[in-house]
Structure 1
Amino acid sequence: MDVTVIWAAIIALGLFMYIVLDGFDLGVGMIFPFFPADSERDMMMHSIAPVWDGNETWLVLGGAALFAAFPMVYSVALSGLYLPIIFMLVCLIFRGVSFEIRGKANRTKNLWSLSFICGSAGAAFFQGVILGAYLQGIPVKDGIFSGDPFFWVTPFSFFTGMGLMVTYALQGATYLVMKIDGDLQERLRALVWPLTFALLGFILAVSVWTPLTDAQIASRWFSSSFRYRLYPIPVLVAITALAMFHAVRRRHETTPFILSLVLILLGYIGLLVSIWPYAIPNSVTLWDAASPRSSQLFALVGAVIIIPIIIVYTTAGYWIFRGKVEAGSQYH
């Protein structure tokens, strides 16, 4: 049993669950500017109020798992990406505070709506910047970060930041279509296809950009014997986009949200395939970065206990607060 691969899978699962769950509530904040009426914004916030804080559990799990299983990656990533991580956390703090205060504020309600918008957009953008910087490779020498503190400031990382903003906005729009009825639902539905089209553009651009700038990724996708198993991914992306177009035209409520998650899954698989088997792309493999096997096994016992608990209470929360959000309803 290769415990290192198991831990890599756990971290990959945790990050994917965070993107899936926290992505849509960050997306709700980013589409706030399209709906200036306070009553509509109240409904949008009430649709995610019962679940947003639980969604962020997966981010904590991913960070803790990285520290336990791949401490070198943890130290290098936090050293190199310290600034965008801090910026992301500050945005998440402002966004979290706005949840608590906006519903009770009167004169400053617009200010806290702005805090919610900027916090959501900023968190999404800096998460994308972190992703882009990671894909380009973090400078490492003798297991220690060896680059400039601003190495992450590149056109590619800013581009992936904007791409993740569009991804989360699509999730947020499709989630609200599923949770809200009436005229607001129709106007939300009108955002879905333009956001899907924009996301496809970002996917295409990243798919071209990364092989052109990274020879190993180009080899993986176009020269290795494994490439024939990868070719269905872009085909499935095209099929999913076509299905999204028909789902929007036929006014489906749940299908667009599911299809947005399928698009994210396909893109995520493509990224994992591109960087395998590196913990830090092109410099440190998973096995080079792994903690001792005894430490991994000890931590794995805790993961086996904790992860099912997180899944159960997350599922219970969504089940309890299932159904549509009605005008005037509130979550306390």
Structure 2
Amino acid sequence: MELFDLTMIWALIIGFSVIMYVLMDGFDLGVGILFPFAPDEESRDVMMNTVAPVWDGNETWLVLGGAGLLAAFPLVYSILLPALYIGVFLMLAGLIFRGIAFEFRFKARTSRYLWNWAFAGGSTVAAFAQGVVAGAYIQGFETSSRVYTGGALDWLTPFTVLTGLGLLAGYSLLGCTWLILKTEGELQQWARRLALPLLAAVLVVFGVISIWTPFVDEFVRNRWFDHLSVIWVFPVVGLLFAFMVFRSVRVGDEAVPFLATMGLFICAYLGLIISKWPYVVPPDYTLWDAASAYNSQLFLLLGLLFVIPVVLGYTAWTYWVFRGKVRAGEGYH
């Protein structure tokens, strides 16, 4: 007898894992995107040191979400991986280059500039690929009999390129506000000067995406304009968060810009989920169509109930231990 809707519970767990990854790995990817534009090499040292203690822990959420997706919704893997193979490969390659750069950059002498580019290039490619994948999800996938039947490059369209650029801008803003929080002096002032142009870029790109999306997916168009009282709460609240970023940067706050940018991301994420609900492989398959057997979901859920508190615990502990400002000459070596 099925006492609980485990499919819904798994959807909440995976949705939570995804937004945790976007928020937590998003700011260190953003720092990497901004890396080539830093004032000097010492500033780049400080930038890397702000994320070096936490970046690998942040990626735990990607592993958790990906593993949970495979366990609870195997149909998603069987369709999305063939559809997005190249995009996913580029994302993972970018994350690998970025991770290697952490280990080698501080030990390099004559080749340090190469690791600078590996860190920046890996972060940029990974962020752009994630945005393209999100855009492809909005577009939907060509399927037949639970099998992907589209082409290898169907995911690459002008719309998905725009969503990729949008996530680049969003992660850059998140990384910039993180630097405002974690640094001081010239580097912090540089980040402050950069924050408002990045905020403007995010609003422009997200605005274009919002206008374009109803023309890409009829289901989303109907959902947006048939449920105005629900859906449009998120862009309104998102604009309020954008105003908080603007005002807090202007008045010199340190923590509020970062927290408000996270709020902006959460609004965009929730708006996307509600726009496509309940389709996990649009336009044909819902969460329940893609779900694994009830007993499989239950068995795996019991294990995950132990894992999630541990992940939350060591994440909170890491951020607590490494709280405060990062200064030149301190950090990862």
Q: Separation in 1 of the partners of 2:328 and 2:289?
A: 55
Aligned-residue identity in percent: 48
- CA displacement 1:217-269 (0-9 Å, x = unmatched): 1111112xx43122222221222222211101101000000000000000001
1:252 paired to 2:273 = no
Alpha-carbon offset, residue 11 of structure 1: 0.8
Give secondary structure in 2 for the equivalent of 1:279.
strand
Match of 2:330 in 1: 329
**What amino acid maps onto 2:158 in structure 1?**
P
- CA displacement 1:124-154 (0-9 Å, x = unmatched): 0011111111111122211111110111110
Alignment size in residue pairs = 330
**What amino acid maps onto 2:246 in structure 1?**
F
Structure 2 residue runs of 5 or longer lacking an equivalent are none
Equivalences for 1:178-189 in 2 at 5 Å? 178-189=181-192
Q: Separation in 1 of the partners of 2:76 and 2:236?
A: 33
Equivalences for 1:193-212 in 2 at 5 Å? 193-212=196-215
Q: What TM-score do you get using the length of structure 1 for normalisation?
A: 0.97
Match of 1:214 in 2: 217
Alpha-carbon offset, residue 68 of structure 1: 0.6
Match of 2:166 in 1: 163
Match of 2:58 in 1: 55
Q: Separation in 1 of the partners of 2:60 and 2:242?
A: 30
Q: Separation in 1 of the partners of 2:245 and 2:48?
A: 25
**What amino acid maps onto 1:284 in structure 2?**
Y
Give secondary structure in 1 for the equivalent of 2:90.
helix
Match of 2:99 in 1: 96
User: What is the aligned-residue RMSD (CA, Å)?
Assistant: 1.0
1:69 paired to 2:72 = yes
Q: State whether residues 17 and 61 of structure 2, in contact with CA within 8 Å, keep that contact through their aligned partners in structure 1.
A: yes
Equivalences for 1:286-305 in 2 at 5 Å? 286-305=287-306
- CA displacement 1:252-289 (0-9 Å, x = unmatched): 00000000000000000110011101011111111111
Match of 2:114 in 1: 111
Alpha-carbon offset, residue 213 of structure 1: 2.2
Q: Separation in 2 of the partners of 1:131 and 1:221?
A: 18
4-13 vs 228-237, greater mean Cα deviation: 228-237
Q: Separation in 1 of the partners of 2:310 and 2:141?
A: 34
Match of 1:314 in 2: 315
73-82 vs 260-269, greater mean Cα deviation: 73-82
Q: What TM-score do you get using the length of structure 2 for normalisation?
A: 0.97
**What amino acid maps onto 1:294 in structure 2?**
N
Q: Separation in 1 of the partners of 2:217 and 2:152?
A: 22
Alpha-carbon offset, residue 330 of structure 1: 2.3
Give secondary structure in 2 for the equivalent of 1:147.
coil
Alpha-carbon offset, residue 36 of structure 1: 4.7
**What amino acid maps onto 1:74 in structure 2?**
Y
Match of 2:141 in 1: 138
Structure 1 residue runs of 5 or longer lacking an equivalent are none
